Amino acid sequence: MPNKTYILIGGVVALIGVAVYFFSTGNIPMGGNQLTRAKAEQMIWEREKTETVTFSVEYEKTADGVYGYDGGLFYLSESGRQHAKDLEKDGLIKIRGGYYTFEFTDAAQPYLLPAGASGKDVKEILIATPTKVEVTGLTEPSEGNGKKTMTAEYKTYYDVTPFGLIIGGYVASIEDGQEESRETFTLYDDGWRIQ
């Protein structure tokens, strides 16, 4: 009957040998070297959570000679003119002088943000605010230029304002309260970073 001490030592040596093999081949990521969907979502969300979707309009004398907010986005196409009609029907704007100029109504005020200190009367229309990010796919790590990279495909979900419901797909790539994107991550000595 073999000595129990030799069996125990042999088992430990075999276990150490297997661990050394896996760690040396990179099959078992160590520490911050592993990028999971959850970690990618967390990193993307940290950046996306403050990125509201807005659209700028400027108060000026427009092509029809009337002062007001430039409605250029509305008169460029038939769908744009329909958007203007829908916004007016919903009580958010009042069209003046055709589709070239409009004014915001009181109902629009909660969705208007000041747009910097350019000296001009510019308003940012709040289209949507992000509510969550979902990573829908994550590539296998690839190596290039001496760095390991991965790509995440993801959806950002939004709380869409009344303006966004009407012009969200027209002025931004938001359809049905969501937007599909992709992001590249690169592994550095301190962990994964968004490219």
User: Would you state the pLDDT for residue 154?
Assistant: 96
- Amino acid found at 186: T
Chain center to CA of 177: 12
Q: State pTM to two decimals.
A: 0.68
Q: Could you tell me if residue 169 is left (phi over 0), alpha (psi between -120 and 50 degrees) or otherwise beta?
A: alpha
Q: At what angle do helices 162-171 and 78-89 cross, to 10 degrees?
A: 170
Domain chopping of the chain, boundaries: 35-194
Whether 172 contacts 55, CB under 8 Å: yes
The pLDDT tens digits along the chain (195 residues) read: 555 444 444 444 444 444 444 333 333 333 457 899 999 999 999 999 999 888 888 777 666 566 677 666 666 667 777 888 889 999 998 887 665 678 889 999 999 887 665 556 778 889 899 999 999 999 999 998 889 999 999 999 999 999 888 887 766 777 678 889 999 999 998 899 998
